[in-house]
Amino acid sequence: MTMQSYSRREEARDTVPPAEAIYVYEAPVRIWHWINAVSIMVLAVTGYLIGSPLPTQPGEVSAHFLMGYIRFAHFTAAYLFAIGLAGRAYWAIVGNHHAREMFWVPVFSREYWLDTFAMLRYYAFLGPTPRQFSGHNPLSRFAMFFVFLLVSLFMSVTGFALYGEGAQAGSWQQIAFGWVRPLLGQSQGVHTWHHLGMWAILIFVILHVYAAIREDIMGRQSVVGSMISGYRTFKK
């Protein structure tokens, strides 16, 4: 599907009668979603502690490995996050058309922007309930691409750049991402941007959870449950 193919007529295939269920999210997408959610939680907590370490522990330094465990958890979650993102990109190619919605936005479509502004008015309690979508609505699609996906790529690149600094010259992380540090102000600059990216992801997560629960209640459709069963249902 190309960006020019977005139209109300084609999107009508995703608009279903009330109480009917359609299969939207395939198993790999659902598995990735929940693994990704856990990874982000671990990355946020451990990343914050890496940036603002806990007070010094009593006793001999050699008896404590707390920061080592925190860093190990952060690196493990980071690899899960990055590998999961690559796997999600692969499934966008081989999966159904809903799997591709996160990776492109029909920015040249007038109908898309009309639907997006209708969703904005709806979320601001200024407009009526817009038409329903089986997959991501236009506003969530915009947020998934321009906020979640792009910031996630930025976090992966800056994260591996910082990891390469510790892995030192010759490591694949340093070879592949060593160019990032001088571009963003050396090590401290990359740390700062990486830290700010974490807060951007957390703000997105808060709004994402709010919007999903709100749609379950006010939109009369299953949103949270659809990421468990894969089916989107609509109520009268």
More confident residue, 5 or 195: 195
More confident residue, 221 or 76: 76
Residues of the chain above pLDDT 90, percent: 55
Q: How confident is the model at residue 5 (pLDDT cuts 50, 70, 90)?
A: very low
The Cα 160–Cα 106 span in angstroms is 31
Q: How confident is the model at residue 21 (pLDDT cuts 50, 70, 90)?
A: confident
Strands 231-233, 21-23: pairing is antiparallel
Residue in the structure block whose two tokens are 């979508």: 133
Q: How far is the CA of 156 from the CAs of 66, 92, 103, 222, in angstroms?
A: 24, 19, 16, 31
Per DSSP, the three-state class of 85 is helix
Domains in the chain with CATH codes: 22-55+63-233 (1.20.950.20)
Tell me the per-residue pLDDT of 52-105, one tens digit each, with 9 for 90 and over: 887 777 777 667 788 889 999 999 999 999 999 999 999 999 989 999 999 999
The Cα 82–Cα 209 span in angstroms is 22
215, 221, 224, 227 alpha-carbon torsion, rounded to 10°: -130
* 9 pLDDT more than 50: no
Helices (H), 124-225: 138-143, 150-167, 172-177, 180-183, 186-218
Q: How confident is the model at residue 13 (pLDDT cuts 50, 70, 90)?
A: very low
